[in-house]
Structure formats: structure tokens, C-alpha cells
Amino acid sequence: MYITNLNKKEIEEYLKKGKRLDGRKPFEFREIVIEGGVSKNAEGSARVKVGETEVIAGVKMEVAEPYPDHQDEGTLMTAIELLPLASSRFEYGPPRIEAIETARVIDRGIRESGFLEFKKLCIKEGEKVFNIFVDLVVINDDGNLLDAGNIAAVAALKLAKMPVYDEEKGRIKYGEFTKKELPLSDKIPLSTTFYKVGEKILVDPTREEQEPSDGRITFTVTGGKEPVINAMQKGEEQTFSAEEIEEMVKELEKIFKEQSAKISKQIDKLGK
């Protein structure tokens, strides 16, 4: 989307007054809707809508050799497809910088949270482990793909079932699933990305709001007795002051508690 300087100024002025284009407060998310079981071939899948932004996540697994420095641990790989059907900004071809960065931020947030218990994905130390692939496909981009993608990935992992493993042949029987869930902890990682538009900071922007932003920070928070920030990623050119960081961290705990309750309730309902 191309935003003229005039439109950018109008959006900035609107935000200065504490208003947003759709009437939300600065730190208020759009409605989140989660649907499970959208792929019969995946170990787990989910469709997530955050407002008009829509992302589908699929989980697939394979048996492979472990990494030399993690002989008794499985692995996680995350990728995202930004297709032209989702936005006129996207083009066919090899992954561009935006796709690579988005996938890495989502991957790091999940990987560093302790959500996946990688040691339980080991089949035989030093020889065979389960690799987990999370593939994200954007169906519609109306802003905030980072957080929408994170929710979709977490939902797909939570809803996934372990595949049937053929011990004799040493491989997975594709299309056959057990009733056993993936080895997950209760530390659900959810990201919140703060965007800076002019002098104001907001979360979950629509694409129209996100276009004029020139700074963002993604915090991934893991639940438990006390929420913990386990990953951070700054993007774009604009800097943030210490006061702005303090404001974001202060709001972060409130946002996480509210969002995690809503998201967990939906996922738990789908898993029954």
C-alpha cells in the first residue's frame, strides 16, 4: 500500500488525539478468531484471523539426524509464504527480506520460550530425532503479520498430534497420527509488536496504520506464574527512548494476560 505524505500526516495527527481509524485504543487488539483442523494432511493446523489479517499455519514432522551440538534434541524450522493473493505488495519468487525476518522472529520467540520440549523429540541420541516444520501462509494482509503469525504457529502446535513412527523402517507413516500431543510445556509464547507512528506507539495496526510507521519492537512473552520476556526484535529505522520502552513493558503485561486468556480459551475448546 502506498501512503502519501498527506495521508501519513493525517494518521499521525489522528493518533496524537488518542484516536485510531477504527475507534480502538492505542494498546487494543482487534478481534482474534482461531479455527483448527484446516488441513487433513498436517500433524496440526490452524487458521487465525486478527481483524482482517488472516494466516494459516501447518505443522509437519520428519525423522532426521540431530545437529552435532544438540545430539539429544529435536529441531524446529519456521517459514512463511507472502503470496500476491494476500497483498499487492507481495510478489512470486524466492523469499524476500520481510518473509525471512517475519519467520525468524516467530521462530525465535517459540524456540526460546521453552514451549517445545526438544529433548522429548529425540528418538535415539546422536542418530534420530523428530524435526518439526511450521509453515505459515498469509491469506490476507491487513497489518501486524508478526503477531498473527505467532498466534497461528502456537495454535497449530497446540492442536498437533504425533505421527505414527515405523520403528522397523525408521520413518514416519505419513497421513497416520496417534492421539498423543506434541511434547509441549504450559509456557505458551505470545508476541506483541509495538509500532511507532510519528510520536505515538500502538499495537496491532491495520495495514493503513502500519504503512506510515517507521519503528517497531516485537516482544515475545511466555506465561507461567510470572510472565517473562524471552525474545525481542527491533525493526525499521526509528529509535525508541528509555521512557517509551518503559511504557511498552508496562503495557505488555496487561496485553499478555488479556490475550493469553482469550487465545488459550479458544485453543482449548478446539482441542476437545
Q: Which of 199, 231, 192 is nearest to 215 (CA)?
A: 199
Q: Write the pLDDT tens digit of every residue in 158-180.
A: 999 999 999 888 889 988 999 99
Q: What separation, in Å, do the N-terminal and C-terminal C-alpha atoms of the chain show? A: 40
Q: Is residue 6 part of a domain?
A: no
Q: Write the pLDDT tens digit of every residue in 68-126.
A: 999 999 999 999 999 999 999 899 988 899 999 999 999 999 999 999 999 999 999 99
Element (H or E) spanning 121, and its range? none
Q: Is residue 52 part of a domain?
A: yes
Does position 5 have pLDDT exceeding 90, yes or no? no
CATH code (residue 40): 3.30.230.70
Q: Which of 198, 211, 200, 237 is nearest to 24 (CA)?
A: 200
Domain boundaries, position 108 = 12-271
Q: Is residue 1 part of a domain?
A: no
Q: Is residue 2 part of a domain?
A: no
Q: Is residue 211 part of a domain?
A: yes
Burial of 153: CB neighbours in 10 Å, binned 0-12, 13-18, 19+: buried
Residue pointed to by grid coordinates 510472565:
227
Q: Is residue 84 part of a domain?
A: yes
Report residue 2's pLDDT band, with 50, 70 and 90 as the boundaries: very low
| Confidence at residue 206, expressed as pLDDT on a 0 to 100 scale | 93
Q: Write the pLDDT tens digit of every residue in 215-272.
A: 999 999 998 677 899 999 999 889 999 999 999 999 999 999 999 999 999 999 998 6
Backbone angles phi, psi at 73, to 5 degrees: -135, 145
For residues 31-51, average pLDDT: 96
Q: Can you list the alpha helix ranges (DSSP code H) found in 53-144?
A: 97-111
Contact status, residue 102 vs residue 80, Cβ threshold 8 Å: yes
Split into its structural domains, the chain has a count of 1
Q: Write the pLDDT tens digit of every residue in 186-195.
A: 889 999 999 9
Q: Write the pLDDT tens digit of every residue in 43-84.
A: 999 999 999 999 999 999 999 999 999 999 999 999 999 999
Residues whose CB falls within 8 Å of the CB of residue 178, separated by 6 or more in sequence, listed in order? 161, 162, 163, 164
Residue pointed to by grid coordinates 528418538:
123
| Confidence at residue 6, expressed as pLDDT on a 0 to 100 scale | 47
Pairing of strands 215-222, 228-235: antiparallel
Number of H helices and E strands in the chain, helices first, is 5, 12
* CB atoms inside a 10 Å sphere around CB 204: 28
Q: Is residue 3 part of a domain?
A: no
Q: Is residue 145 part of a domain?
A: yes
